[in-house]
Amino acid sequence: MPTHEITAAAAGSWTLGDRTVRRMGFGTMRITAAPDADRAIRVLRRAVELGVDHLDTAAFYVSPGGTLNVGSGPARYAPELIRAALAPYSDDLFIATKVGFAYDPATGLREETSPAGLRAQVEENLRRLGRDHLDLVNLRIVKRPGRDSVAESFAALAALRDAGLIRHLGLSNVRLDHLDEAQAIAPVVCVQNSYALDNRGDQDALLRECGARGIAYVPFFALAGARREAGAAAEHPAAVHAVARAHGATPHQVRLAWTLHQGPHVLAIPGTGDPEHVAQNVAAGALRLTAGELAALG
């Protein structure tokens, strides 16, 4: 499908708390893997030029040595690249970030952050982004048997929200019982979980419940699916190829369109380090799938 002149507005909008964002956003995890900072900056500016106003980031998106252990040279933090590309920030830009674990490059393990340690992670995000508040902070949990409550950590973030450091709160990598616990403490505007056309896991019920509660559901790895950090596969289910051919679209665009068709509260945050892919992903917001196509996709 042609990508020219299609902006993120084509995907429609959703309201997160008191802010309205376009449903086609941009995930910044992969910009740290760009061969140089200039390219990462170009990718971010391209997304915003195309009308993207919802960015997802984290201070632990750093390369080399961070969650994406690739590249070489000096550390590049995604929030610092965002600042270099986009500060001074437009009032329209909504930047979501996440806290809750620290990545240990030596062991490759994610160590859960204590409730008391969350403030330092929030402050690190503020510092690296160069902002005095964060639009949205997701509590990203590391599920561990026997240590499964989000209450204490979510209450710590709610206190930082009350102190004015954070405007809105969300949850990531959670189940419905975590959402119930958190909502008893403070408003939750989004749930960010791993979900893709061919990697739905047990997420369908939670996705629907978020819609019923007026909460955004924000899938990560919508393109990468089960390959996760390894990135998008070259192979896709046959139905994806068939729908792509019918629309003159790429399989990746069909995957993103399918994501957006899962409900008006579903927001896309595809990640890429390639400016051309940014434009293709934004254009996927204009792709309208028929009921028959959605059934075939599954």
Ligand X SMILES: NC(=O)c1ccc[n+]([C@@H]2O[C@H](COP(=O)([O-])OP(=O)(O)OC[C@H]3O[C@@H](n4cnc5c(N)ncnc54)[C@H](OP(=O)(O)O)[C@@H]3O)[C@@H](O)[C@H]2O)c1
Compute the least distance from the CB of residue 57 to ligand X, in Å: 6
Regarding 25 and contact with ligand X (CB under 6 A), the answer is no
Q: Which of 160, 168, 164 is nearest to 94 (CA)?
A: 168
**94 vs 295, which CB is nearer to ligand X?**
94
Q: Cβ distance 31 to 44 under 8 Å?
A: yes
**What's the CA gap between 94 and 25, in Å, rounded?**
10
- E-strand ranges in 92-207 read 94-99, 101-104, 109-112, 134-140, 166-172, 190-192
Regarding 224 and contact with ligand X (CB under 6 A), the answer is yes
Regarding 100 and contact with ligand X (CB under 6 A), the answer is no
- Write out the binding residues for ligand X, residues 255-274 only, by CB under 6 A: 269-274
Q: Which of 121, 120, 100 is nearest to 111 (CA)?
A: 100
Compute the least distance from the CB of residue 253 to ligand X, in Å: 7
| Catalytic positions | 61
Regarding 172 and contact with ligand X (CB under 6 A), the answer is yes
Work out which of 23, 46, 252, 265 binds ligand X, going by CB under 6 A: 252
**What's the CA gap between 14 and 274, in Å, rounded?**
26
Regarding 32 and contact with ligand X (CB under 6 A), the answer is no
Work out which of 46, 76, 98, 236 binds ligand X, going by CB under 6 A: 98
Tokens of 174: 């959670």
- Write out the binding residues for ligand X, residues 56-95 only, by CB under 6 A: 56
Q: Which residue is nearest to ligand X (CB)?
A: 271
Q: Which of 165, 213, 205, 208 is nearest to 189 (CA)?
A: 213
Which residues are CB-contacts of 256 (< 8 A; sequence separation ≥ 6)?
24, 222, 223, 268, 270, 281, 284, 285, 287
Work out which of 280, 282, 283, 297 binds ligand X, going by CB under 6 A: 280
Compute the least distance from the CB of residue 276 to ligand X, in Å: 8
Work out which of 11, 16, 27, 168 binds ligand X, going by CB under 6 A: 27
**53 vs 56, which CB is nearer to ligand X?**
56
Q: Which stretch binds ligand X (CB under 6 A): 14-22, 123-131, 158-166, 222-230?
A: 222-230
For residue 209, count other CB atoms closer than 10 A to its CB: 15
Compute the least distance from the CB of residue 119 to ligand X, in Å: 20
Which H helix or E strand runs over 55? strand 54-56
**161 vs 236, which CB is nearer to ligand X?**
236
**160 vs 250, which CB is nearer to ligand X?**
250
Query: Is the bond leading into 219 cis (omega within 30 degrees of zero)?
Result: no
- State the Cα torsion 164-167-169-170 to the nearest 10°: -150
Compute the least distance from the CB of residue 26 to ligand X, in Å: 8
Which residues are CB-contacts of 126 (< 8 A; sequence separation ≥ 6)?
132, 133, 134, 165
Compute the least distance from the CB of residue 101 to ligand X, in Å: 9
Q: How many residues bind ligand X (CB under 6 A)?
A: 28
Q: Which of 203, 150, 217 is nearest to 181 (CA)?
A: 150
Binding site for ligand X (CB under 6 A): 27-30, 56, 98, 140, 172-173, 192, 220-224, 231-232, 250, 252, 269-274, 277, 280-281
